Structure formats: structure tokens, C-alpha cells
Amino acid sequence: MAPTTRTSSDSTSETCDVFIVGGGPAGSTVAALLAQRGLDVVLAEKERHPRFHIGESLLPMNLELFERLGLSDRIRAIAMHKPGAELNSPLNDGPVTLNFSDAWDKAHPYSYQVRRSEFDQILFENCVAQGTRAMQSCRVTAAAFPAEGGVSVTTDSRQDGEKHWLARFLVDASGRDTFLANKLSIKKRNPHHASAALYGHFTGAHRLPGEAQGNISLFWFEHGWFWFIPLLDGTTSVGAVCTPEYLRARKTDPDRFLLDTIALCPVLARRLEDASLVGNATATGNYSYRSEHMAGDRYILLGDAYAFVDPVFSSGVMLAMQSAFLGADVVEACLRNPAKAARSKRHFEKSVGHALRHFSWFIYRMTRPAMLTLFMAPSNRLRIREAILSLLSGDLYRGTPIYRSLFAFRVIYYATSALMFKQTIRAWRASRRSLRVPKPERTA
Ligand SMILES: Cc1cc2nc3c(=O)[nH]c(=O)nc-3n(C[C@H](O)[C@H](O)[C@H](O)COP(=O)(O)OP(=O)(O)OC[C@H]3O[C@@H](n4cnc5c(N)ncnc54)[C@H](O)[C@@H]3O)c2cc1C
């Protein structure tokens, strides 16, 4: 459908079927799918690709989505092969390795780790190749839902200045900027979880030998946990995910603080003894939130624009891309087959909510001693280990029958927590403390 120009009451608006805010994994994926289906899609990305983004470790179920987008070869070419995860806990003597090949469905035995600048650029170029009218260095500054229908959107870019658009549907894929959730005041702090992160890239880190060199390694320590993500070019991404109160206590610059924090975890420090930080470390504040809903009249929220919990299971990109696949069906139904729109929205909300709920249950408990103990000695009685590995693979959308085994794991977790009563209470108190919102500082 060719773009047309229409005069609105106060200015000239360009029209389109779907306007997408943000060109990260969620935005570029939904844009490619909708443009492929013949809709007139406009996407605005406030930055310019390739740009840095955190979130480099992917899940096996991502690979199926790359296949469906026709991007498997391009993504394989930039990716580190990731067959599993190495877990290191101070409660255990040595590390434990979980391999995706041990999941319930053995057909997805590995995933990838990628530099997000390269990965996001491939997804973005694909949406352009499919026919999306994509603008970079172009920020969406306003959106409104006029009574007469459609969505009016304002963009601002150095090239075109302020510009007005009239779309039939708005997709918010603005990530942790949560553009629409802020505008609609529907963003809520997560009452169950709070964490903040500090991260950087290193050269010269000691990697695991053989095929395991591509594994993500996780290290728990007194203030939270670390990730160690090897990338294809020899760089290693290292980050500390801590309680917000630990990061608030920082007195030094982020580089020094990251190095000092690494020194608190001797097993990781040994892996990095010959390594150097490349560029600067970055700190983020508490990022755990959810919006009150993910779909409304003339809009949907995808990926981080709807919710983000925690990076411990490397699930963010997979959740974002899955929500884009499900969301594309909602947009198409709303625009082409309104009789099916309500059903499509219900399916979208149910599927996205289901995956988030299952990940969240584990995330909220991941620093508890009972959880670490069980993860570090994963028994396959009642096929529990296979079910956990399927969850860790992101296999939550295809009806793989893992839920009885996950339920059995929960029962065992609560029994183990009761047996480890004192440690459980101590960890629970610490997590309650981390949920306290700091009082604003008084000014004279
Ligand atoms: C510390 C940390 C570590 C993480 N590690 C992992 C990991 O290992 N694996 C994993 O899968 N996930 C990880 N994540 C999560 C992952 O980064 C996100 O879940 C994922 O990027 C979400 O994709 P998205 O497309 O929803 O949002 P994003 O990737 O954030 O993309 C949103 C895009 O929208 C653009 N944008 C925002 N506002 C506007 C606007 N007003 N106008 C125009 N453009 C706009 C932004 O520039 C951005 O490009 C991590 C997150 C954090 C905080």
C-alpha cells in the first residue's frame, strides 16, 4: 500500500497501517512479519544501528525464530556456539554444567551468544528488506488515540525535524524506555523482585576448554550473581547483577566498582586475572517492572516495552521475539479480520503471560539457598532435570509436556526450603530488604 499524505486539523500527517516504536529485536521482528504480509509498516528507532545493547546470551528456542525469519545463516555467522550453562555457587565445591541437549525435546541442543550491535542490525536490515519504511536516529515523542479512530504519532529526527503520522495501529517495542506504558501510566514496579546491574567487556579472559568454551558461566556471590559470556571475537561480557542497595552504596566510578566487585568472587576473579576491561563499565538501576496490560484498543506492547524481570535465564531476547511473532497475528487480525481480533489478543496475552509467569517463579527464588542447592544437583527423577532444561531453553510455547515435572520441582523446592529453614529465612529477609524503595534525599 503506497503512503499517502493527509491533512489533519493542525498539520500534515503521513499515513501508514502500523507504526512501530523501536527497532530492537521485538520491533524489527514484528515489522518484518507485518511488512511480509503486505501491510504498510513504519518503524522509528531513536538510535542508529549498529549500536551497543546489553543482552548477549540467547536461548535454543531463539533459533527456531531465526529460521522462520530466514536469518539462520546470517546469525550463525556472527555467533558463538552455546551448548549450555556452567553454574558456580559458593554453596558447592565445584561447578555444575547444564547442557541443553539434556532437555525434554532433544532437537534443540544449543543456542548462541552474540554481540547485540551486530545481531540487532541483522534483524533491522531484514525488516527493511521485507518492506518496512524504517527511520533511524528518529525518536517517537508523542502518541495519541483520537476519538475518530487511528493513532496519531509524532516523531523527531535531525533529518526531518518534527513529523506527524496517522497510523491504524501502534506497536510499542521501545524496550526499557517503556514509551507507551509511561504515557498511559500503566508501568508498575515489580513488587516481588528488584535487581540492578554493572557490566563491561573484557579481553584476555580464561575460557572453558573445548566445546564448553561457548557456554555462559554464572557465579553466585554474597551480593547477587555474575554472568560470563564469551563472544566470537574473543571478547567476554562480564556483568554483576546485584541488589539495588549494593549498587547504591557505590563510592567509586563504575570501572573501579566492577573490578572491586569481581574481586569479591574468587572463582571469577581467577578467570579474569589476565583480562583487561575494554571501554567503560556501565551501571543500570533497578529494572524489574511490568505493565498493567499488554494490549488495548489500537495498540500492543512487546518485549521489554511490556515487562522485564531479570537477566538470569538469558530470556529477554527470546521473550521479545516470541511476543513479536504472537503480536503480529494480533495486529493483522485487528486490521484485516476484526471478528478474530479479541480471540487473537487473548491468545497473545495468555502465551506471553504464561512464559513470564514460569520464568518469574524461578527468578524470584534464584538466590535462595534451596534453589541453588537443587540447581547444583539436578536430579532427573520424575524427568525434573529435562523439564528445567526445557524451561531454560525457552520451550514454553509449543505444548512440550514439562508442567507436571515443573510442579514436582516446586514441591521439592518448598520441602528443601523447610529443611534449610534458617538459611531460607535469612535469604528471604535479604530479598525483602532489597525491595524497599529508598527514601528521596532531603535537600536543604
Ligand atoms: C543487565 C541486563 C542483562 C541482560 N542480559 C540478557 C541476556 O543475556 N540475554 C537476553 O536474552 N536478554 C538479556 N537482557 C534483556 C534484553 O536486553 C532485553 O530483554 C531485549 O533487548 C528486549 O528486546 P526489545 O526489542 O523488547 O527491546 P530493546 O532491545 O531495548 O529495543 C528497544 C529499542 O527501542 C528504541 N527506542 C526506545 N524508545 C524509543 C523512542 N521513543 N523512539 C524510537 N525508538 C525508541 C531503543 O533505542 C531500542 O533500540 C538483559 C537485560 C539487562 C538489563
Question: Grid coordinates standing for 287?
Answer: 529494572
CA nearest to 92, candidates 371, 279, 344, 304: 371
Q: How remote is the CA of residue 182 from the centroid of ligand 1, in Å?
A: 16
Q: What residue type is assigned to position 308 of the chain?
A: F
List pLDDT tens digits, range 96-121. Answer: 999 999 999 999 999 999 999 999 99
Distance 267 CA to ligand 1 centre (A): 29
Residue of 112, 165, 174 best suited for mutating to test ligand 1, as the one with most atoms within 8 Å of CB: 174
Say if ligand 1 is within 6 A of residue 156 CB.
Answer: no
Has this prediction a pTM greater than 0.85? yes
Mean pLDDT lowest for which of 3-7, 323-327, 377-381? 3-7
For ligand 1, whether the C-beta of 45 sits within 6 Å is yes
For the cut 80, the answer to whether the pLDDT of residue 436 exceeds it is no
Please tell me the distance from the alpha carbon of residue 24 to that of residue 231, in angstroms, as a whole number.
20
Over 399-413, what HEC string results? CCCCHHHHHHHHHHH
More confident residue, 190 or 141: 141
| Cell, residue 83 | 551448548
Ligand 1 atom closest to Cα of residue 120: 29
Is it the case that residue 9 has pLDDT exceeding 50? Answer: no
> What tens digit of pLDDT does each residue of 49-76 get?
999 999 999 999 999 999 999 999 999 9
Pocket flag, ligand 1, residue 295 (CB < 6 Å): no
CB 20 within 8 A of CB 41: yes
- Sign for the pseudo-dihedral over CA of 113, 364, 374, 321: negative
Asked whether 55 lines ligand 1 (CB < 6 A), one says yes
Which ligand 1 atom is the nearest neighbour of the CA of 141?
41
Other C-beta atoms lying within 10 Å of the C-beta of residue 338 = 9
With 0-12 / 13-18 / 19 or more C-beta atoms within 10 angstroms meaning exposed / middle / buried, residue 253 is exposed
Instruction: State phi, psi for 263 to the nearest 5 degrees.
Output: -65, -20
In this structure, how many other beta carbons lie within 10 angstroms of the beta carbon of residue 102?
Answer: 17
Question: Rounded to whole angstroms, how far apart are CA atoms 382 and 378?
Answer: 11
Q: Provide the pLDDT for residue 437.
A: 63
**What share of the chain has pLDDT > 90, as a percent?**
79
Q: Which of 142, 170, 144, 165 is nearest to 14 (CA)?
A: 165
Residue in 393, 415, 96 with CA at minimum distance from that of residue 267: 96
Residues 262 and 240: beta-carbon distance below 8 Å: yes
Q: What is the mean pLDDT of the chain?
A: 92
Cα dihedral sign, 115-31-304-44: positive
What's the chain's Rg over C-alpha atoms?
A: 22
* Atom from ligand 1 closest to the CA of residue 54: 17
pLDDT at 90 over 80: yes
How far, in Å, is the centroid of ligand 1 from the Cα of 308?
A: 9
pLDDT for residue 100: 97
pLDDT of 25 > 80? The answer is yes
Which ligand 1 atom is at minimum distance from the Cα of 113?
8
Q: Is 416 in the pocket of ligand 1 (CB under 6 A)?
A: no
Band of residue 232 on the pLDDT scale cut at 50, 70, 90: very high
User: How many CB atoms neighbour CB 271 within 10 A?
Assistant: 22
Number of neighbours of residue 202 by Cβ within 10 angstroms: 20
pLDDT exceeds 70 at position 222: yes
Residue 240: the pLDDT is: 97
